[in-house]
Protein backbone atom coordinates (compact mmCIF):
# COMPACT_ATOMS: atom_id res chain seq x y z
CA UNK A 1 0.00 0.00 0.00
CA UNK A 2 1.50 3.33 -1.07
CA UNK A 3 1.68 6.14 1.45
CA UNK A 4 -0.79 8.94 0.85
CA UNK A 5 0.70 12.42 0.61
CA UNK A 6 -1.44 15.54 0.73
CA UNK A 7 -0.11 18.21 -1.62
CA UNK A 8 -1.19 21.69 -2.69
CA UNK A 9 -1.44 20.42 -6.25
CA UNK A 10 -3.92 17.70 -5.21
CA UNK A 11 -6.10 20.19 -3.32
CA UNK A 12 -6.08 22.57 -6.28
CA UNK A 13 -7.01 19.71 -8.62
CA UNK A 14 -9.96 18.69 -6.43
CA UNK A 15 -11.15 22.29 -6.04
CA UNK A 16 -11.07 22.65 -9.83
CA UNK A 17 -13.02 19.42 -10.38
CA UNK A 18 -15.64 20.53 -7.85
CA UNK A 19 -15.90 24.02 -9.35
CA UNK A 20 -16.40 22.60 -12.86
CA UNK A 21 -18.63 19.78 -11.55
CA UNK A 22 -16.57 17.10 -13.31
CA UNK A 23 -18.14 14.41 -11.16
CA UNK A 24 -16.87 11.33 -12.95
CA UNK A 25 -13.24 12.47 -12.69
CA UNK A 26 -13.74 13.43 -9.06
CA UNK A 27 -15.28 10.06 -8.20
CA UNK A 28 -12.51 8.23 -10.07
CA UNK A 29 -9.90 10.17 -8.13
CA UNK A 30 -11.44 9.71 -4.67
CA UNK A 31 -13.06 6.28 -4.80
CA UNK A 32 -9.77 4.41 -4.62
CA UNK A 33 -8.57 6.47 -1.64
CA UNK A 34 -8.87 5.38 1.98
CA UNK A 35 -11.60 7.23 3.87
CA UNK A 36 -9.03 8.65 6.31
CA UNK A 37 -7.15 10.20 3.38
CA UNK A 38 -10.36 11.68 2.00
CA UNK A 39 -11.05 13.18 5.44
CA UNK A 40 -7.60 14.75 5.38
CA UNK A 41 -8.39 16.29 1.99
CA UNK A 42 -11.80 17.57 3.13
CA UNK A 43 -10.19 19.38 6.05
CA UNK A 44 -8.37 21.56 3.52
CA UNK A 45 -11.53 22.50 1.60
CA UNK A 46 -14.20 25.06 2.36
CA UNK A 47 -17.51 23.81 3.77
CA UNK A 48 -19.33 24.16 0.45
CA UNK A 49 -16.82 21.98 -1.42
CA UNK A 50 -16.68 19.48 1.47
CA UNK A 51 -20.47 19.07 1.39
CA UNK A 52 -20.37 18.65 -2.39
CA UNK A 53 -17.91 15.72 -2.11
CA UNK A 54 -19.85 14.05 0.70
CA UNK A 55 -23.04 14.19 -1.33
CA UNK A 56 -21.28 12.97 -4.46
CA UNK A 57 -19.56 9.85 -3.11
CA UNK A 58 -21.42 6.73 -2.04
CA UNK A 59 -22.83 6.76 1.48
CA UNK A 60 -20.82 3.74 2.65
CA UNK A 61 -17.55 5.63 2.09
CA UNK A 62 -18.64 9.08 3.24
CA UNK A 63 -20.07 7.75 6.49
CA UNK A 64 -16.57 6.57 7.43
CA UNK A 65 -15.11 9.87 6.22
CA UNK A 66 -17.39 11.83 8.54
CA UNK A 67 -16.20 9.85 11.58
CA UNK A 68 -12.60 10.83 10.78
CA UNK A 69 -13.27 14.57 10.67
CA UNK A 70 -12.35 16.93 13.51
CA UNK A 71 -15.35 17.54 15.74
CA UNK A 72 -15.63 21.27 14.98
CA UNK A 73 -15.36 20.76 11.21
CA UNK A 74 -17.82 17.87 11.35
CA UNK A 75 -20.33 20.07 13.23
CA UNK A 76 -20.17 22.64 10.44
CA UNK A 77 -20.81 19.95 7.82
CA UNK A 78 -23.72 18.43 9.76
CA UNK A 79 -25.30 21.88 10.08
CA UNK A 80 -25.47 22.01 6.27
CA UNK A 81 -26.97 18.53 5.88
CA UNK A 82 -30.64 17.64 6.21
CA UNK A 83 -31.84 15.24 8.89
CA UNK A 84 -32.55 12.66 6.17
CA UNK A 85 -28.99 12.95 4.79
CA UNK A 86 -27.48 12.48 8.25
CA UNK A 87 -29.73 9.47 8.90
CA UNK A 88 -28.60 7.88 5.62
CA UNK A 89 -24.98 8.27 6.72
CA UNK A 90 -25.65 6.79 10.17
CA UNK A 91 -27.24 3.63 8.80
CA UNK A 92 -23.89 2.62 7.31
CA UNK A 93 -22.00 3.02 10.60
CA UNK A 94 -21.57 0.78 13.60
CA UNK A 95 -23.75 1.98 16.44
CA UNK A 96 -20.84 3.39 18.48
CA UNK A 97 -19.69 5.59 15.57
CA UNK A 98 -23.27 6.61 14.83
CA UNK A 99 -23.75 7.66 18.46
CA UNK A 100 -20.53 9.70 18.38
CA UNK A 101 -21.98 11.74 15.53
CA UNK A 102 -25.59 12.05 16.67
CA UNK A 103 -24.59 13.00 20.23
CA UNK A 104 -23.08 16.23 18.85
CA UNK A 105 -26.43 17.37 17.47
CA UNK A 106 -28.93 19.62 19.30
CA UNK A 107 -31.73 17.69 21.03
CA UNK A 108 -34.39 18.59 18.47
CA UNK A 109 -32.10 17.50 15.61
CA UNK A 110 -31.31 14.19 17.35
CA UNK A 111 -35.00 13.28 17.47
CA UNK A 112 -35.52 14.30 13.84
CA UNK A 113 -32.51 12.34 12.58
CA UNK A 114 -33.46 9.20 14.53
CA UNK A 115 -36.98 9.37 13.08
CA UNK A 116 -35.48 9.12 9.57
CA UNK A 117 -33.44 5.97 10.29
CA UNK A 118 -35.29 3.24 8.41
CA UNK A 119 -33.69 0.31 10.25
CA UNK A 120 -35.78 0.26 13.45
CA UNK A 121 -33.42 -2.05 15.33
CA UNK A 122 -30.42 0.12 14.42
CA UNK A 123 -32.31 3.20 15.63
CA UNK A 124 -33.25 1.43 18.85
CA UNK A 125 -29.63 0.50 19.52
CA UNK A 126 -28.52 4.09 18.94
CA UNK A 127 -31.13 5.41 21.36
CA UNK A 128 -30.02 2.82 23.92
CA UNK A 129 -26.37 3.85 23.65
CA UNK A 130 -27.17 7.56 23.90
CA UNK A 131 -28.14 7.12 27.56
CA UNK A 132 -24.58 6.28 28.58
CA UNK A 133 -21.98 8.88 29.47
CA UNK A 134 -19.27 9.40 26.86
CA UNK A 135 -16.46 8.51 29.29
CA UNK A 136 -17.86 5.09 30.26
CA UNK A 137 -17.66 1.65 28.70
CA UNK A 138 -21.33 1.99 27.77
CA UNK A 139 -20.54 5.18 25.89
CA UNK A 140 -17.69 3.47 24.00
CA UNK A 141 -19.30 0.19 23.08
CA UNK A 142 -21.00 -0.90 19.87
CA UNK A 143 -23.97 -3.23 19.74
CA UNK A 144 -22.64 -5.17 16.74
CA UNK A 145 -21.09 -8.48 17.81
CA UNK A 146 -21.30 -12.23 17.29
CA UNK A 147 -22.73 -14.31 20.12
CA UNK A 148 -23.89 -17.92 20.42
CA UNK A 149 -25.94 -19.80 22.98
CA UNK A 150 -24.20 -22.39 25.13
CA UNK A 151 -27.07 -24.84 24.47
CA UNK A 152 -26.68 -24.83 20.70
CA UNK A 153 -24.79 -27.48 18.83
CA UNK A 154 -21.94 -26.56 16.50
CA UNK A 155 -24.06 -26.83 13.34
CA UNK A 156 -26.66 -24.34 14.58
CA UNK A 157 -23.88 -22.16 15.95
CA UNK A 158 -22.22 -21.82 12.53
CA UNK A 159 -25.58 -21.01 10.89
CA UNK A 160 -26.33 -18.27 13.42
CA UNK A 161 -22.81 -16.86 13.19
CA UNK A 162 -23.13 -16.46 9.44
CA UNK A 163 -26.29 -14.41 9.84
CA UNK A 164 -24.86 -12.22 12.60
CA UNK A 165 -21.52 -11.66 10.82
CA UNK A 166 -23.30 -9.84 7.98
CA UNK A 167 -23.81 -6.88 10.34
CA UNK A 168 -20.31 -6.88 11.86
CA UNK A 169 -17.45 -5.29 9.93
CA UNK A 170 -14.82 -7.34 11.72
CA UNK A 171 -15.32 -10.38 13.93
CA UNK A 172 -12.76 -10.22 16.74
CA UNK A 173 -14.34 -12.76 19.07
CA UNK A 174 -17.32 -15.07 19.41
CA UNK A 175 -19.03 -14.71 22.78
CA UNK A 176 -21.02 -17.44 24.51
CA UNK A 177 -24.16 -16.61 26.51
CA UNK A 178 -26.90 -18.57 28.30
CA UNK A 179 -30.64 -18.31 27.71
CA UNK A 180 -30.73 -15.03 29.69
CA UNK A 181 -27.89 -13.47 27.66
CA UNK A 182 -25.51 -13.76 30.62
CA UNK A 183 -21.91 -13.87 29.37
CA UNK A 184 -20.44 -17.34 29.95
CA UNK A 185 -17.21 -17.29 27.92
CA UNK A 186 -15.78 -17.15 24.43
CA UNK A 187 -15.52 -19.58 21.54
CA UNK A 188 -12.32 -20.45 19.73
CA UNK A 189 -12.64 -20.70 15.95
CA UNK A 190 -10.09 -23.51 15.98
CA UNK A 191 -12.18 -25.52 18.43
CA UNK A 192 -15.28 -24.79 16.39
CA UNK A 193 -13.68 -26.07 13.18
CA UNK A 194 -12.21 -29.21 14.75
CA UNK A 195 -15.29 -30.26 16.70
CA UNK A 196 -18.11 -32.50 15.59
CA UNK A 197 -21.13 -30.59 14.27
CA UNK A 198 -23.31 -32.48 16.78
CA UNK A 199 -21.29 -31.34 19.79
CA UNK A 200 -22.80 -28.77 22.14
CA UNK A 201 -21.16 -25.38 22.50
CA UNK A 202 -21.32 -25.88 26.26
CA UNK A 203 -18.69 -28.61 25.92
CA UNK A 204 -16.20 -26.64 23.81
CA UNK A 205 -16.31 -22.97 24.79
CA UNK A 206 -13.63 -21.29 26.94
CA UNK A 207 -15.13 -20.05 30.22
CA UNK A 208 -12.33 -17.56 30.89
CA UNK A 209 -13.05 -14.20 29.26
CA UNK A 210 -12.09 -10.64 30.16
CA UNK A 211 -14.99 -8.18 30.28
CA UNK A 212 -15.94 -4.74 31.57
CA UNK A 213 -19.15 -3.32 33.01
CA UNK A 214 -21.11 -0.56 31.25
CA UNK A 215 -20.34 1.78 34.16
CA UNK A 216 -16.55 1.29 34.06
CA UNK A 217 -14.62 4.39 33.02
CA UNK A 218 -13.12 4.72 29.56
CA UNK A 219 -9.67 5.00 31.16
CA UNK A 220 -10.18 1.67 32.98
CA UNK A 221 -11.22 0.02 29.70
CA UNK A 222 -8.15 1.37 27.92
CA UNK A 223 -5.87 0.16 30.73
CA UNK A 224 -7.33 -3.37 30.72
CA UNK A 225 -7.15 -3.73 26.93
CA UNK A 226 -3.58 -2.41 26.84
CA UNK A 227 -2.50 -4.68 29.70
CA UNK A 228 -3.88 -7.87 28.12
CA UNK A 229 -3.28 -6.90 24.45
CA UNK A 230 -6.96 -7.25 23.56
CA UNK A 231 -8.37 -6.31 20.17
CA UNK A 232 -11.90 -6.27 21.59
CA UNK A 233 -13.56 -6.70 24.97
CA UNK A 234 -17.20 -7.57 25.79
CA UNK A 235 -19.33 -5.21 27.86
CA UNK A 236 -21.88 -6.49 30.38
CA UNK A 237 -24.56 -4.84 32.50
CA UNK A 238 -25.04 -5.16 36.27
CA UNK A 239 -26.55 -8.65 35.80
CA UNK A 240 -23.56 -9.66 33.65
CA UNK A 241 -25.72 -9.80 30.52
CA UNK A 242 -23.81 -9.20 27.29
CA UNK A 243 -24.82 -5.79 25.90
CA UNK A 244 -21.99 -4.81 23.55
CA UNK A 245 -18.30 -4.84 22.75
CA UNK A 246 -15.49 -2.30 22.59
CA UNK A 247 -12.82 -2.54 19.88
CA UNK A 248 -9.23 -1.36 19.95
CA UNK A 249 -9.83 1.59 17.58
CA UNK A 250 -12.19 3.15 20.14
CA UNK A 251 -9.62 2.67 22.90
CA UNK A 252 -6.89 4.31 20.80
CA UNK A 253 -9.15 7.36 20.52
CA UNK A 254 -9.54 7.42 24.31
CA UNK A 255 -5.78 7.21 24.83
CA UNK A 256 -5.19 10.05 22.35
CA UNK A 257 -7.82 12.24 24.01
CA UNK A 258 -6.37 11.59 27.48
CA UNK A 259 -2.86 12.35 26.24
CA UNK A 260 -4.04 15.62 24.68
CA UNK A 261 -5.88 16.59 27.86
CA UNK A 262 -2.88 15.80 30.06
CA UNK A 263 -0.59 17.72 27.72
CA UNK A 264 -2.84 20.76 27.93
CA UNK A 265 -3.08 20.51 31.73
CA UNK A 266 0.70 20.24 31.95
CA UNK A 267 0.98 23.38 29.83
CA UNK A 268 -1.45 25.26 32.06
CA UNK A 269 -4.58 25.03 29.87
CA UNK A 270 -7.62 24.14 31.95
CA UNK A 271 -10.13 23.33 29.18
CA UNK A 272 -10.12 21.16 26.07
CA UNK A 273 -9.41 23.68 23.32
CA UNK A 274 -8.25 23.73 19.71
CA UNK A 275 -6.02 26.26 17.96
CA UNK A 276 -8.94 27.59 15.89
CA UNK A 277 -11.30 28.10 18.86
CA UNK A 278 -12.59 31.59 19.67
CA UNK A 279 -10.36 34.09 21.47
CA UNK A 280 -12.77 34.08 24.42
CA UNK A 281 -12.64 30.29 24.80
CA UNK A 282 -8.83 30.24 24.52
CA UNK A 283 -8.58 33.06 27.07
CA UNK A 284 -10.75 31.17 29.59
CA UNK A 285 -8.55 28.11 29.16
CA UNK A 286 -5.22 29.91 29.57
CA UNK A 287 -5.84 32.85 31.90
CA UNK A 288 -6.32 30.99 35.23
CA UNK A 289 -2.83 29.48 35.20
CA UNK A 290 -1.31 32.70 33.92
CA UNK A 291 -2.84 34.49 36.91
CA UNK A 292 -1.43 31.84 39.25
CA UNK A 293 1.96 32.32 37.64
CA UNK A 294 1.60 36.08 38.05
CA UNK A 295 0.86 35.79 41.78
CA UNK A 296 3.76 33.36 42.08
CA UNK A 297 6.01 35.94 40.45
CA UNK A 298 4.71 38.63 42.80
CA UNK A 299 5.44 36.32 45.72
CA UNK A 300 9.01 35.80 44.53
CA UNK A 301 9.40 39.56 44.04
CA UNK A 302 8.13 40.16 47.57
CA UNK A 303 10.72 37.73 48.97
CA UNK A 304 13.50 39.42 47.01
CA UNK A 305 12.30 42.82 48.25
CA UNK A 306 12.50 41.55 51.82
CA UNK A 307 16.20 40.85 51.32
CA UNK A 308 16.94 44.17 49.62
CA UNK A 309 19.48 45.13 52.28
CA UNK A 310 21.37 41.89 51.74
CA UNK A 311 21.54 42.50 47.99
CA UNK A 312 22.98 45.96 48.59
CA UNK A 313 25.80 44.35 50.58
CA UNK A 314 26.18 41.33 48.27
CA UNK A 315 24.94 42.40 44.81
CA UNK A 316 26.53 39.27 43.28
CA UNK A 317 23.62 37.29 44.77
CA UNK A 318 21.37 38.73 42.03
CA UNK A 319 23.39 36.94 39.36
CA UNK A 320 22.30 33.51 40.56
CA UNK A 321 18.54 34.15 41.00
CA UNK A 322 17.66 32.95 37.43
CA UNK A 323 19.81 29.85 38.01
CA UNK A 324 17.98 29.00 41.24
CA UNK A 325 14.53 29.54 39.73
CA UNK A 326 15.22 27.69 36.48
CA UNK A 327 16.81 24.71 38.24
CA UNK A 328 13.96 24.43 40.76
CA UNK A 329 11.33 24.59 38.02
CA UNK A 330 13.07 22.09 35.75
CA UNK A 331 13.66 19.52 38.48
CA UNK A 332 10.08 19.82 39.71
CA UNK A 333 8.63 19.33 36.22
CA UNK A 334 10.91 16.33 35.57
CA UNK A 335 9.90 14.60 38.80
CA UNK A 336 6.19 15.30 38.42
CA UNK A 337 6.16 14.22 34.76
CA UNK A 338 7.68 10.84 35.62
CA UNK A 339 5.21 10.30 38.47
CA UNK A 340 2.21 11.36 36.38
CA UNK A 341 3.25 8.96 33.61
CA UNK A 342 3.72 6.17 36.15
CA UNK A 343 0.30 6.78 37.68
CA UNK A 344 -1.29 6.79 34.22
CA UNK A 345 0.09 3.37 33.24
CA UNK A 346 -0.12 1.84 36.74
CA UNK A 347 3.63 1.35 37.05
CA UNK A 348 3.53 3.31 40.32
CA UNK A 349 1.52 1.61 43.04
CA UNK A 350 0.98 4.81 45.01
CA UNK A 351 3.45 3.98 47.84
CA UNK A 352 4.43 7.52 48.66
CA UNK A 353 7.26 7.18 51.20
CA UNK A 354 9.42 4.86 49.11
CA UNK A 355 8.96 7.09 46.08
CA UNK A 356 9.82 10.22 48.09
CA UNK A 357 12.98 8.61 49.47
CA UNK A 358 14.08 7.64 45.97
CA UNK A 359 13.51 11.17 44.66
CA UNK A 360 15.32 12.61 47.70
CA UNK A 361 18.42 10.55 46.97
CA UNK A 362 18.19 11.31 43.25
CA UNK A 363 17.87 15.02 44.03
CA UNK A 364 20.87 14.85 46.36
CA UNK A 365 23.08 13.24 43.70
CA UNK A 366 21.96 15.65 40.97
CA UNK A 367 22.29 18.60 43.33
CA UNK A 368 25.85 17.75 44.33
CA UNK A 369 26.86 17.30 40.69
CA UNK A 370 25.32 20.61 39.59
CA UNK A 371 26.64 22.45 42.66
CA UNK A 372 30.17 21.26 41.88
CA UNK A 373 29.96 22.64 38.36
CA UNK A 374 28.49 25.94 39.59
CA UNK A 375 31.26 26.42 42.17
CA UNK A 376 33.92 26.12 39.46
CA UNK A 377 32.09 28.35 36.98
CA UNK A 378 31.22 31.02 39.56
CA UNK A 379 34.81 31.12 40.85
CA UNK A 380 36.47 31.54 37.47
CA UNK A 381 33.72 33.44 35.58
CA UNK A 382 32.37 35.72 38.31
CA UNK A 383 35.32 35.69 40.74
CA UNK A 384 33.03 34.99 43.68
CA UNK A 385 34.33 34.60 47.22
CA UNK A 386 34.34 31.27 49.03
CA UNK A 387 31.26 32.21 51.08
CA UNK A 388 29.25 33.24 48.02
CA UNK A 389 30.17 30.03 46.17
CA UNK A 390 29.26 28.00 49.26
CA UNK A 391 25.93 29.81 49.53
CA UNK A 392 25.00 29.11 45.91
CA UNK A 393 26.15 25.48 46.12
CA UNK A 394 24.23 24.69 49.32
CA UNK A 395 21.16 26.52 48.02
CA UNK A 396 21.23 24.57 44.76
CA UNK A 397 21.45 21.20 46.50
CA UNK A 398 18.61 22.14 48.87
CA UNK A 399 16.44 23.60 46.11
CA UNK A 400 16.90 20.53 43.86
CA UNK A 401 15.99 18.12 46.67
CA UNK A 402 12.99 20.26 47.61
CA UNK A 403 11.78 20.48 43.99
CA UNK A 404 12.19 16.73 43.43
CA UNK A 405 10.22 15.89 46.58
CA UNK A 406 7.44 18.39 45.81
CA UNK A 407 7.26 17.25 42.18
CA UNK A 408 6.78 13.69 43.42
CA UNK A 409 4.46 14.31 46.35
CA UNK A 410 1.89 16.60 44.69
CA UNK A 411 0.85 14.24 41.81
CA UNK A 412 0.52 11.25 44.17
CA UNK A 413 -1.44 13.38 46.65
CA UNK A 414 -3.83 14.58 43.94
CA UNK A 415 -4.21 11.06 42.53
CA UNK A 416 -5.19 9.68 45.94
CA UNK A 417 -7.92 12.32 46.14
CA UNK A 418 -9.34 11.57 42.71
CA UNK A 419 -7.88 14.66 40.99
CA UNK A 420 -6.10 14.35 37.64
CA UNK A 421 -2.39 14.41 38.61
CA UNK A 422 -1.48 15.97 35.27
CA UNK A 423 -2.59 19.30 36.74
CA UNK A 424 0.48 19.12 39.01
CA UNK A 425 2.96 19.45 36.15
CA UNK A 426 3.80 22.63 34.31
CA UNK A 427 2.84 26.01 35.81
CA UNK A 428 1.74 24.68 39.22
CA UNK A 429 5.01 22.94 40.02
CA UNK A 430 7.15 25.55 38.27
CA UNK A 431 5.56 28.48 40.10
CA UNK A 432 5.62 26.87 43.54
CA UNK A 433 9.23 25.80 43.16
CA UNK A 434 10.25 29.24 41.86
CA UNK A 435 8.88 30.90 45.00
CA UNK A 436 10.26 28.29 47.39
CA UNK A 437 13.59 28.30 45.55
CA UNK A 438 14.04 32.04 46.09
CA UNK A 439 13.05 31.72 49.76
CA UNK A 440 15.50 28.86 50.29
CA UNK A 441 18.26 30.71 48.44
CA UNK A 442 18.09 33.89 50.53
CA UNK A 443 17.50 31.99 53.77
CA UNK A 444 20.73 30.02 53.23
CA UNK A 445 22.52 33.19 52.17
CA UNK A 446 21.43 34.82 55.42
CA UNK A 447 22.85 31.90 57.43
CA UNK A 448 26.15 31.62 55.53
CA UNK A 449 26.84 35.32 54.96
CA UNK A 450 25.43 36.50 58.30
CA UNK A 451 23.32 39.50 57.21
Check whether residue 332 and residue 380 sit in a common domain.
yes
**Count of domains forming the chain:** 3
Identify the CATH number of the domain in which residue 205 sits: 3.10.580.10
CA atoms within 13 A on the CB side of 365: 5
Check whether residue 194 and residue 323 sit in a common domain.
no
For residue 266, what pLDDT is reported?
A: 58
Look at residue 96 and tell me if it is in a domain: yes
The rounded distance, in Å, linking the Cα atoms of 87 and 270 is: 35
For residue 277, what pLDDT is reported?
A: 63
Question: Angle formed by the axes of helices 107-116 and 83-90, to 10°?
Answer: 60
Check whether residue 300 and residue 431 sit in a common domain.
yes
Look at residue 253 and tell me if it is in a domain: no
Q: CA angle 358-363-368, nearest 5°?
A: 135
Q: Residue 331: name the closest of 272, 376, 396, 379 by CA.
A: 396
The rounded distance, in Å, linking the Cα atoms of 288 and 294 is: 10
The rounded distance, in Å, linking the Cα atoms of 110 and 162 is: 33
Domain boundary, last residue among 101, 130, 159: 130
Show the domain range for 413. Answer: 279-449
Domain boundary, last residue among 98, 130, 162: 130
Check whether residue 152 and residue 120 sit in a common domain.
no
User: In the chain, which stretches have pLDDT less than 50?
Assistant: 1
Q: Residue 53: name the closest of 88, 14, 9, 93 by CA.
A: 14
User: Can you give the length of the chain in residues?
Assistant: 451
Q: What is the pTM of this model?
A: 0.66
> Rounded to the nearest 5°, which phi and psi values hold at 334?
-60, -50
The rounded distance, in Å, linking the Cα atoms of 124 and 131 is: 12
The rounded distance, in Å, linking the Cα atoms of 266 and 158 is: 52
Check whether residue 153 and residue 30 sit in a common domain.
no
The rounded distance, in Å, linking the Cα atoms of 265 and 385 is: 43
Check whether residue 117 and residue 63 sit in a common domain.
yes
Check whether residue 308 and residue 428 sit in a common domain.
yes
Identify the CATH number of the domain in which residue 385 sits: 1.10.357.20
For residue 235, what pLDDT is reported?
A: 97
Look at residue 263 and tell me if it is in a domain: no
Domain boundary, last residue among 130, 162, 179: 130
Check whether residue 82 and residue 230 sit in a common domain.
no
Look at residue 137 and tell me if it is in a domain: no
State pLDDT tens for residues 407-433.
888 888 877 877 777 666 667 777 788
What would the DSSP string read from start to end of 188-246? Answer: -HHHHHTS-TTSBGGGTSB-----EETTSBHHHHHHHHHHTT-SEEEEE-TT-BEEEEE
State pLDDT tens for residues 263-286.
666 555 555 656 566 677 767 767
Check whether residue 161 and residue 21 sit in a common domain.
no
Check whether residue 440 and residue 317 sit in a common domain.
yes
Question: Angle formed by the axes of helices 47-56 and 8-19, to 10°?
Answer: 70
Check whether residue 435 and residue 323 sit in a common domain.
yes
Look at residue 252 and tell me if it is in a domain: no
Amino acid sequence: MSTFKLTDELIEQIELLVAEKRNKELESLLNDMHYADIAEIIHELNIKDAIYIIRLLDTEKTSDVITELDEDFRDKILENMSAKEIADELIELDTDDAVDIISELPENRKTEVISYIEDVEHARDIVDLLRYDDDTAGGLMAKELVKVNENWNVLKCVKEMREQAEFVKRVHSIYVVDDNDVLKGRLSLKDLLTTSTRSNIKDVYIPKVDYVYVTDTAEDVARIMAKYDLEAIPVVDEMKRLVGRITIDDVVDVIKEEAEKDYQLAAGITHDVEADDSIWKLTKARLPWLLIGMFGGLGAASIINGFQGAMERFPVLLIFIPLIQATAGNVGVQSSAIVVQGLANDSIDGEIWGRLLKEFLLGLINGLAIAGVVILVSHFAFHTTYNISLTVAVALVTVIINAAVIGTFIPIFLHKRGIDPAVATGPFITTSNDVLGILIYFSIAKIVLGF
